[in-house]
Amino acid sequence: MILQVDELGKMHSGKQEQVLFAHVSATIEEPTRICMIGASGQGKSTLLRIIGFMDREDQGQVLLQGKDRSKWVPREWRKQASYVAQQPVMLAGTIEDNLRVVSTLHQSVFDEKLAKRLMERAGLTEMAWSKPASDLSGGEKQRLALVRSMLLRPAILLLDEVTSSLDMHSKQLIEMMLMDWHEEEETTLIWVTHDMDQARQCSSRLWFLAEGTILEDVSTVDFFEEPRTQPGRKFLGIQSVRERKWSGEGINYV
Ligand SMILES: Nc1ncnc2c1ncn2[C@@H]1O[C@H](COP(=O)(O)OP(=O)(O)OP(=O)(O)O)[C@@H](O)[C@H]1O
Ligand SMILES: [Mg+2]
């Protein structure tokens, strides 16, 4: 058992007494690549942050490797389920300081070879590690933050739109890097994205967040073939044959 999310609920921070999401349940038994999609403001980042122990649930519980939060030291949990933010925070100091910080924090040995390999795969080969991290572009910071999390070798990577600031080439590099990493390390990916091509290519399972819950938890192939729910179809801009019939579009009545 990798992760179990059980009847999770969260109240909206901005709108009083309003539920952001509720009854969110899902189980991940073995290493999987999941993409989480859904309209803006549905709570994808919040759910990801709760799973990463960066935020707390209001209802329900999360079990990591079969154990609930009370059985974990938060730092250990965050090492196993590492959240990679869309707008990552860089530590003051150099790129190398940022790469080393995870091993310092978790009292483990800095794996320089792995750091070099990952920086290379992320398209950051040429980068001088002595450069201040604050000098990096948004897309470079995004990739550095991803490498920083991967150096922890977490069981789960919680990816929050990690390619949103990248050009096409860098985006493809990151997609390949993560797919390979999943194969090599058996890392589970829970990947929030607004990029439907990315969801299609990079995941085998799909969580569609709508109407305040995971409305669909299905195989990616099935979802893109035809979502089971009307909001799912609407999200993809698809009308089912039945709906087309009702609206009288696209059907030739003879
Ligand atoms: N910690 C929190 N607890 C409760 N509600 C929050 C919290 N953080 C943000 N919110 C509110 O919940 C809503 C959803 O935020 P969230 O960032 O999770 O959405 P999202 O699905 O990731 O959206 P986007 O696709 O735009 O990134 C926002 O309106 C926000 O104000
Ligand atoms: Mg978000």
Q: What whole-number distance in Å separates Cα of residue 179 and Cα of residue 201?
A: 10
Ligand 2 centre and the CA of 37: distance in Å?
Answer: 10
> How high is the mean pLDDT in each 10-residue block of the chain (254 residues)?
98 89 98 98 97 97 97 96 93 95 86 96 93 94 96 97 96 98 98 98 98 98 97 86 57 47
Residue 138: closest CA among 169, 165, 170: 165
pLDDT at position 250, please? 52
Q: Which residue among 12, 21, 194, 208 is best mutated to probe the pocket of ligand 1, counting the most ligand atoms within 8 A of its Cβ?
A: 12
Q: Whose CA is nearest to atom 3 of ligand 1?
A: 13
φ and ψ at residue 8, rounded to 5 degrees: -75, 140
Ligand 2 centre and the CA of 52: distance in Å?
Answer: 14
CATH number of 3-247: 3.40.50.300
pLDDT at position 239, please? 60
Burial group, residue 242, by CB count within 10 angstroms (0-12, 13-18, 19+):
exposed
pLDDT at position 17, please? 85
Ligand 2 centre and the CA of 116: distance in Å?
Answer: 29
Spell out the domain ranges in the chain: 3-247
Q: What whole-number distance in Å separates Cα of residue 123 and Cα of residue 170?
A: 7
Residue keyed to tokens 């085998």:
204
pLDDT at position 242, please? 58
Q: Could you identify the atom of ligand 1 that is nearest to the CA of residue 86?
A: 27
pLDDT at position 254, please? 40
Ligand 2 centre and the CA of 86: distance in Å?
Answer: 8
Residue 16 CB–ligand 1 contact under 6 Å: no
pLDDT at position 253, please? 46
